[in-house]
Amino acid sequence: MRVVFEDAEVTRERFMIRAAGSFAEGVHLVSGPVGSGKTTLALAATGLRTPKKGKIYMEGIGTFTLSQQFPEYHITGTTLNEEIASWGLKPDHILERTGFNGQGSRDPFSLARGELKRLHLACVLSGNWDLLVLDEPFSGLDCREKKRIAGEIATLKAGIVIIFTHEQTVFPRVDRLWELQEGFLRDLGPVPGSFPDWRGAPPLLRMLLEKGIVPRNLANEDLLEAVCRM
């Protein structure tokens, strides 16, 4: 299973991103500042944007989905029950997991954006996907919820998980790092060897690297363990 970007050029209005590389099975983190083209690339990775030049193709992938940054665009049901069912899932289990037990007849638009994101991510993460692309999965969530989602991502059954984010505080354990720099997608390589090349590394990681300490991974417990080594 893999997603291949073969010298691809993806455009959106006057904006262009060049990408070359292959996303194999595992969790990939694509980091980049706001406006660097993460959403455009996320759409391209799932085949929802055609590259202007080059090729983007999937190999051995049967099921895939994309979670967009703003969950309201995904709504197709008029109640929470209908919305959960639209993902092919049984409502009761998801309602219980997200803390909306007994509220299945509620209008999804009556939820706050953070609540809606929680529900949406619960639906997306419950599916069996060969490829799961998450565009800013942590935006609109509080710190506790971010940590919970990061933990859930680490235990996913999906074959390839690609996380596009500008997040700087909470991360799941990842296998490979990528970074969007000046319109290019750079494959930084496997974690933790790629940490020193990460230009937009979070402040805590940068501080640890400056002190010569390399954490095993990006999850909170890994960073905490590295801090204890100081």
Partner 1 sequence: MQDVRFRVFSTLLLSVATFVSIPGAVAALIWWLMAGGISTVKTSRYALIFIGIVGLVSLLVEISGGDGLSYFIRMSVILLIAFWAFAHQSPGEFMDLTVWAAGNKRGFELGLVAEVTLQAINSIRDDIDRIKVALTLKDRRSGIRGLLPAAFVLIITHLSRAEDQADLLVVRGYRNGGSWCPAFPKNTRDIAGGIGAILVLLVAFIPIRDIFILLL
Query: Would you tell me which residues interact with partner 1 (CB under 8 A)?
Result: 43, 46, 48, 65-66, 68, 70, 72-78, 86-87, 109
Output 48 or 143, the one with its CB closest to partner 1: 48
Tell me the angle at which helices 203-210 and 220-228 cross, rounded to the nearest 10 degrees. 30
Closest CA to 131 of 33, 204, 64: 64
Q: What's the min distance (Å) between Cβ of 159 and partner 1? A: 17
Output 75 or 214, the one with its CB closest to partner 1: 75
Which pair of tokens denotes residue 200? 């937009």
Output 101 or 110, the one with its CB closest to partner 1: 110
E strand map for 13-157: 15-24, 26-31, 53-59, 64-67, 131-135
How long a stretch of residues is the chain?
Answer: 230
CA distance 57 to 20: 12
Output 46 or 126, the one with its CB closest to partner 1: 46
Output 87 or 171, the one with its CB closest to partner 1: 87
Type and span of the H or E element at 81: helix 80-85
Q: What's the min distance (Å) between Cβ of 13 and partner 1? A: 10
Which pair of tokens denotes residue 96? 């219980």
Q: How far apart, in Å, do the first and last CA atoms of the chain sit?
A: 39
Which pair of tokens denotes residue 185? 């997608």
Q: What's the min distance (Å) between Cβ of 214 and partner 1? A: 38
Cβ(190)–Cβ(218) under 8 Å? no
**Is cis: bond before 196, omega within 30 of 0?**
no
Output 62 or 196, the one with its CB closest to partner 1: 62
Cβ(17)–Cβ(37) under 8 Å? yes
Q: What's the min distance (Å) between Cβ of 16 and partner 1? A: 17
Output 86 or 101, the one with its CB closest to partner 1: 86
Q: What's the min distance (Å) between Cβ of 72 and partner 1? A: 6
**184 three-class SS:** strand
Q: What's the min distance (Å) between Cβ of 76 and partner 1? A: 4
Q: What's the min distance (Å) between Cβ of 68 and partner 1? A: 6
